Amino acid sequence: MTPPVPRTLTPGEAPLWDRNSFTPESWTQTLSTYEVTEIIDALTVAQHRLAGRDLVTDRVVSRDDFPLTSLAPRLEAMAAEVADGCGFAVLRGLPVGRLTEPQNVLLLRGLATYLGPIATQSRDGQLVRHVRATGHRLGDASVRGHQTSERLWFHTDGADAAVLLCRAASATGGLSRLASAGTVHNAMLHHSPPWTAELYRPFHFHMAGGNVPGLPPTFISPVFSLHDGRFSTRYVRHTLLETPKVTGVPLPQEAQAAFDLLEELADELSVDMELRPGDLQIVNNHTVLHSRTSYTDPPPPAERRHLMRSWITFPHYRGRRAAPVDEYLRFGWLTDDQQRELAASWTKPEAPTSGATA
């Protein structure tokens, strides 16, 4: 398949910024004492209304369950900035230290109702994931980056946006790094049009056991997409590198080179931020690549670095990418019925015509 000829993206097609475009004050909003009190009051209501519910899997949580008055417009404005502005935002000062772990899950779910519909993160319908080191390392296809303390490559998560609530910080490291995917795309185009074009090809993304048994272990999507005047990216390097193990077809050397160039330029162009306990970070998965530096946890009895993650959908993003799988993935993990539908048109990746790596 011949990839399209890429061109320079415009600000109307993607947010274009780099590390010199912002100061930390420009992306961080700090809660007032009154707003913190309003959140505590909302938690009291939510604990009564949602008692006995499993908020890790129960989708039905509404704003009525977590009533906010003064803070609601600010959260809605932050969601709009993430969806249609620069692509990320941070809310600082949430009272996580006063709360138990289940109460923090409730806090995350309540705040998310003001940001966008919740999305699933796994085949079994998990809506909240714990981001903390488990002692495992990347390389095992069943281990995901949020379970390790290792440096993560730049990547995107599922659904339209990711929401992270920081409960406890690391002793050292663990910086969050964000890069404009459009700016990286344009810088790649300047360095190598062929490698940029390579990322417009369809790629197989390993589902790491999230597929229906007996159905294809990958879904197919390009890394870069320009559809109906909107640029979007989907990039998870470790799952792309795992794919040859399940398909038996190596990745082309051109793809590996394109991945390397993307990482190098994202590293040069990114903004770095330290997420503190009580920070809520929201990141657009279509327009922002994100990464994390390696970290070390504090020694016991201090709590290990711990973030909670949810994914959300922006309803007006319908049709942001062309393929059916991309529309399905906006709402989180592929359902069993969606996987069965996609299996009918699934094809094995083409063997490279030039040099390749396993």
Here the CATH number for the domain that contains residue 145 is 3.60.130.10
- Residue 358 is predicted with a pLDDT of 35
Q: Is residue 1 assigned to a domain?
A: no
Closest Cα to residue 304, out of 281, 273, 272, 277?
Answer: 277
Q: Is residue 216 assigned to a domain?
A: yes
Q: Distance from first CA to last CA of the chain, Å, rounded? A: 20
Q: Is residue 103 assigned to a domain?
A: yes
- Provide the token pair at 325: 């799988």
Largest CA distance in the chain: 63
Name the domain count of the chain.
1
Enclosing domain of residue 206: 24-345
Q: How far apart are CA 164 and CA 152, in angstroms?
A: 16
What residues contact residue 280 under an 8 Å CB cut-off, 6+ apart?
90, 91, 92, 94, 108, 111, 163, 164, 165, 166
Q: Is residue 353 assigned to a domain?
A: no
- Residue 134 is predicted with a pLDDT of 58
Q: Is residue 238 assigned to a domain?
A: yes
pLDDT in tens, 199-232: 999 999 999 889 999 999 999 999 999 999 999 9
Q: Is residue 355 assigned to a domain?
A: no
Q: Is residue 327 assigned to a domain?
A: yes
With a cut of 70, which residues of the chain have pLDDT below it?
1-3, 133-149, 354-358
- Residue 302 is predicted with a pLDDT of 81
- Residue 164 is predicted with a pLDDT of 98
Four-point Cα dihedral 272, 276, 282, 284, nearest 10: 20
- Residue 357 is predicted with a pLDDT of 45
- Residue 353 is predicted with a pLDDT of 77
Chain CA centroid to CA 267, Å: 17
Chain CA centroid to CA 213, Å: 25
What residues contact residue 252 under an 8 Å CB cut-off, 6+ apart?
198, 352, 353, 354, 355, 356
Q: Report pTM.
A: 0.93
Q: Is residue 102 assigned to a domain?
A: yes
